[in-house]
Amino acid sequence: MMKAIFVTLLAAASLMSATVAANAAGTHEGGHYEFGEPGKAENVTKTVLVDAVDENGEMRFVHEPLTIKQGDVVKFVVTNRGTMPHEFSVGDSPSQRAHALMMEKMPDMKHENDATAITLEPGETKELIWAFTKPIKGQIELACQMPGHYAGGMVTKVRMVK
């Protein structure tokens, strides 16, 4: 009986921990993001072409030099030019680090309902529009959160300008 209670409490604590991590990462449904909000096509102020590549054991995003200022609404047009699935997610440094830690613990997590991320199969192109309406903590990071990709260097730090 005591063991069953302990196991139940442990499971509840784990679930709460995962929920807190998801909320900290800004990847939960409900639209509470620390670094902006989903944007609308009619408000786009800048379009950025991004290639996700994996070659010679290296994974990275390739795009023009990029700066973003608060108030920009950016349309990211992302093409997976690699041989494996990739993800493109936008967030501030704290949310991307929290997301990477969460992905290590839950590598099968999917992001279909996450406004900050798109998943691309090889050869696929998708768009993500983000409005940078809030002050940023740290830097903006464009990251692939597929297991091992963020840790493998598939992240771009973007400078925010005033």
pLDDT recorded at residue 117: 93
pLDDT score recorded for residue 9: 38
Pairing label, strands 117-120, 86-92: antiparallel
pLDDT of residue 68: 92
Q: What's the gap between Cα 99 and its chain centre?
A: 7
Instruction: Classify each residue of 53-89 as buried b or exposed e, where b means 16 or more C-beta atoms within 10 Å of its C-beta.
Output: bbeeeebbbebeebebeeebbbbbebbbbbeebbbbb
**pLDDT for res 30:** 45
pLDDT of residue 35: 87
Q: Which fold has domain 2-161?
A: Immunoglobulin-like (2.60.40)
Q: What is the DSSP letter of 41?
A: G
pTM, two decimal places: 0.77
CA-CA-CA-CA torsion sign (14, 15, 19, 20): negative
Please state, in angstroms and rounded to a whole number, the distance separating the CA atoms of residues 119 and 88: 6
Q: How far apart are CA 56 and CA 67, in angstroms?
A: 28
**Residue of 102, 83, 106 lying closest to 143 (CA atoms):** 102
Per-block mean pLDDT, blocks of 10 residues, the chain (162 long): 45 39 42 87 97 92 93 97 95 85 75 85 98 87 91 90 78
How far is the C-alpha of 51 from the C-alpha of 86, rounded, in Å? 10
Annotated domain spans of the chain = 2-161
Which residue reads 């940023």 in tokens? 136
CA separation for the pair 37, 34 (Å, rounded)? 8
